[in-house]
Structure 1
Amino acid sequence: MLTGSDLLAKVKELGDVTKSDLVRACGYVSAKKDGAERLNFTAFYEALLEAKGVNLGVTGSNSVGKGGRRLSYVATVQGNGNLLIGKAYTSLLDLHPGDEFEIKLGRKQIRLVPVGSNEEDED
Structure 2
Amino acid sequence: MAELATTPLTGKALLQKVKELSNVPRRETARACGYYTTTKENKIRVNLAEFYDALLAAKGIAIESPKDGRGREASYRVSVHQNSQIVIGANYTQQLGLTPGDEFEIKLGYKHIHLIKLENGQDISEA
TM-score of Structure 1 vs Structure 2, range by shorter chain: 0.3 to 0.5
User: Which has more radius of gyration?
Assistant: 2
TM-score normalised to the size of structure 1? 0.46
TM-score normalised to the size of structure 2? 0.45
